[in-house]
Structure 1
Amino acid sequence: MVETAVEPAPRRDRRAWRPVALRLAGALASGVVFYLSFAPRPLWWLAPLAFTGLALVLHRRRFWGGLGYGFVFGLGFFVPLLTWLQHFLGPQFGPYPWLALSATLALYLGLCGGLITWVSRLPGAPVWAALVVVAMETPRTWFPFGGFPWGRVAFSQPEGAFLPLASVGGAPLVGFAVVLCGFGLAALVRRPRLVPVLATVVPVVAGLALWPAIGTDAQNGTRTVAAVQGNAPDVGLDLQGRRGELRANHLAETERLLADVRAGRVPKPDLVVWPESATDVRGDDPRLDRLAADFGVPFLIGALDRVAGKPQNVVYAWDPVTGRGDRYAKQQLVPFGEYIPAREIARLVTPFVDDTGDMLPGTGEPPALRVGGITVGAFICYEAAFDYPARDAVLAGAQLLVAPTNNAWYGPGEMSYQQLAMSRLRAVEHGRAVIVPATSGVSAVIRPDGSVASSTGLFTAASLVETVPLRSTTTLADRLGPWTEYTLLAVAVAAVVTGALSLRGPGRTRRRLD
Structure 2
Amino acid sequence: MVTARTGRRPAPAPTAPEPTDARRVPGFLVASLAALGGWVTNLGFPDTDVWWLAILGVALLAVTFHATGTDGRNAWRSAGLGFVWGMAFFLPHIVWADVSVGALPWAALSVAQAGMVALAGAAFAWARRAPWLARREWLQPAVLAVVWTAVELLRSHYPFGGFPWGRIAFSQAGSPLGRLAWLGGAPLVSAATVFVAGLLAFGVVRLVQLRLTGPAGAVIVAAAVAASGMFVPVATRAETGTLRVGAVQGNVAEPGSGSFGHQLEVTGNHVDGTHAVAERAGEGGLDLVVWPENASDVDPRANTQGHALIEQAVEAAGVPLLFGTQEYVEGGRYNQAVLWTPDAGITQVYAKQVPAAFAEYIPWRGLFEKLSDKVALVQTDMLPGTEVGAVPVPVERLGRDVVVAPIICFEVAYDRIARSAVQAGAELLLVPTNNSNFGYTAESTQQLAMTRLRAIETGRAAIQISTVGVSGVVDPAGRVLERTGLFTAEQLLAEVPLRTSSTPAVVLGGWIELAVALGASLLVGVGIVSGARSRSRRK
* TM-score of the two chains, using structure 1 as the length reference: 0.90
Contact 1:235 1:409 in 2 (8 A): yes
- Tell me the residue number matched to 1:128: 143
- Greater mean deviation of Cα atoms: 168-177 or 225-234: 225-234
Distance in 2 (alpha carbons) for counterparts of 1:110 and 1:329: 35
Indicate whether 1:297 and 2:309 are aligned.
no
Structure 2: which 5+ runs fail to align? 1-22, 69-73, 207-212, 396-400
Distance in 2 (alpha carbons) for counterparts of 1:390 and 1:177: 21
- Tell me the residue number matched to 2:510: 482
- Tell me the residue number matched to 1:428: 456
Find the residue that maps to 2:476 and give its secondary structure. coil
Distance in 2 (alpha carbons) for counterparts of 1:445 and 1:352: 35
Indicate whether 1:220 and 2:240 are aligned.
yes
Q: 2:114 aligns with which of 97, 101, 106?
A: 106
Amino acid paired to 2:315: A
Distance in 2 (alpha carbons) for counterparts of 1:60 and 1:503: 19
Show CA shifts across 1:95-127 (max 9, x none).
222112111110111122222223235131111
- Tell me the residue number matched to 1:437: 465
- Tell me the residue number matched to 1:81: 93
Distance in 2 (alpha carbons) for counterparts of 1:186 and 1:508: 32
Find the residue that maps to 2:496 and give its secondary structure. strand
Amino acid paired to 1:36: L
Structure 2 counterparts to residues 361-380 of structure 1, below 5 A: 361-371=383-393, 372=395, 373-380=401-408
- Greater mean deviation of Cα atoms: 290-299 or 46-55: 290-299
Find the residue that maps to 2:203 and give its secondary structure. helix
Find the residue that maps to 1:457 and give its secondary structure. coil
Distance in 2 (alpha carbons) for counterparts of 1:419 and 1:271: 23
Amino acid paired to 2:92: P
- Tell me the residue number matched to 1:452: 480
- Tell me the residue number matched to 1:20: 27
Show CA shifts across 1:397-423 (max 9, x none).
011110000000101111011011000
Contact 2:435 2:468 in 1 (8 A): yes
Contact 2:267 2:309 in 1 (8 A): no
- Greater mean deviation of Cα atoms: 461-470 or 188-197: 188-197
Going from structure 1 to structure 2, the CA distance change for 1:234 and 1:110 (only over 3 Å counts) comes to farther
Q: By how many angstroms is 1:505 displaced?
A: 4.6
Find the residue that maps to 1:409 and give its secondary structure. helix
Going from structure 1 to structure 2, the CA distance change for 1:367 and 1:501 (only over 3 Å counts) comes to same
Which ranges of 4 or more aligned residues in structure 1 deviate by more than 6 Å? Answer: none
Contact 2:332 2:383 in 1 (8 A): no
Distance in 2 (alpha carbons) for counterparts of 1:59 and 1:309: 52
Distance in 2 (alpha carbons) for counterparts of 1:360 and 1:428: 30
Distance in 1 (alpha carbons) for counterparts of 2:99 and 2:374: 16
Q: 1:66 aligns with which of 78, 86, 92?
A: 78
Contact 1:253 1:461 in 2 (8 A): yes
Q: How many residue pairs end up in the alignment?
A: 485
Identity across the alignment (%): 38
Q: By how many angstroms is 1:388 displaced?
A: 1.1
Indicate whether 1:200 and 2:237 are aligned.
no
- Tell me the residue number matched to 1:6: none
Distance in 2 (alpha carbons) for counterparts of 1:72 and 1:33: 13
- Greater mean deviation of Cα atoms: 19-28 or 498-507: 498-507
Contact 1:229 1:461 in 2 (8 A): yes
* TM-score of the two chains, using structure 2 as the length reference: 0.86
Q: Which one has more relative contact order, counting CA pairs under 8 Å at least 6 apart? A: 1
Amino acid paired to 2:506: D
Distance in 2 (alpha carbons) for counterparts of 1:171 and 1:438: 23
Distance in 1 (alpha carbons) for counterparts of 2:293 and 2:513: 29
Show CA shifts across 1:276-335 (max 9, x none).
011122327233223213322111111122334633111111112212211100011122
Indicate whether 1:492 and 2:520 are aligned.
yes
Distance in 2 (alpha carbons) for counterparts of 1:377 and 1:147: 21
Q: By how many angstroms is 1:196 displaced?
A: 3.7
Q: 1:287 aligns with which of 309, 312, 316?
A: 309
Q: By how many angstroms is 1:189 displaced?
A: 2.5
Q: By how many angstroms is 1:199 displaced?
A: 5.2
Distance in 2 (alpha carbons) for counterparts of 1:204 and 1:177: 8
Structure 2 counterparts to residues 230-379 of structure 1, below 5 A: 230-262=250-282, 268-279=285-296, 280-283=298-301, 285-308=307-330, 310-354=332-376, 356-371=378-393, 372=395, 373-379=401-407
Find the residue that maps to 1:503 and give its secondary structure. helix
Contact 1:120 1:129 in 2 (8 A): no
Going from structure 1 to structure 2, the CA distance change for 1:410 and 1:354 (only over 3 Å counts) comes to closer
Distance in 2 (alpha carbons) for counterparts of 1:505 and 1:251: 70
Contact 1:24 1:72 in 2 (8 A): yes
Structure 1: which 5+ runs fail to align? 1-15, 510-514
Going from structure 1 to structure 2, the CA distance change for 1:233 and 1:334 (only over 3 Å counts) comes to farther
Distance in 1 (alpha carbons) for counterparts of 2:236 and 2:188: 21
Distance in 2 (alpha carbons) for counterparts of 1:295 and 1:130: 49
Distance in 2 (alpha carbons) for counterparts of 1:351 and 1:28: 31
Amino acid paired to 1:346: F
- Greater mean deviation of Cα atoms: 449-458 or 138-147: 138-147
Q: By how many angstroms is 1:178 displaced?
A: 0.1
Show CA shifts across 1:76-101 (max 9, x none).
10011011111112xxx4x2221121
Contact 1:180 1:199 in 2 (8 A): no
What RMSD over aligned residues (CA atoms) do the two structures have, in Å?
2.2
Q: By how many angstroms is 1:205 displaced?
A: 3.7
Contact 2:250 2:489 in 1 (8 A): yes
Q: By how many angstroms is 1:49 displaced?
A: 1.4
Q: By how many angstroms is 1:433 displaced?
A: 0.5
- Greater mean deviation of Cα atoms: 480-489 or 449-458: 480-489
Distance in 2 (alpha carbons) for counterparts of 1:507 and 1:345: 42
- Greater mean deviation of Cα atoms: 286-295 or 58-67: 286-295
Amino acid paired to 2:106: W
Distance in 2 (alpha carbons) for counterparts of 1:355 and 1:204: 44
Contact 1:30 1:50 in 2 (8 A): yes
Distance in 1 (alpha carbons) for counterparts of 2:329 and 2:497: 35
Show CA shifts across 1:121-157 (max 9, x none).
5131111111111111122123343311110111111
Q: By how many angstroms is 1:359 displaced?
A: 3.9
Show CA shifts across 1:11-44 (max 9, x none).
xxxxx89721111110000011111000122311
Q: By how many angstroms is 1:195 displaced?
A: 7.5
- Tell me the residue number matched to 1:10: none
Amino acid paired to 1:277: N
Amino acid paired to 2:148: V
- Tell me the residue number matched to 2:38: 31
Indicate whether 1:155 and 2:155 are aligned.
no
Distance in 1 (alpha carbons) for counterparts of 2:503 and 2:96: 34
Contact 2:252 2:260 in 1 (8 A): no
Show CA shifts across 1:343-384 (max 9, x none).
011110233434533344343211011112211111100101
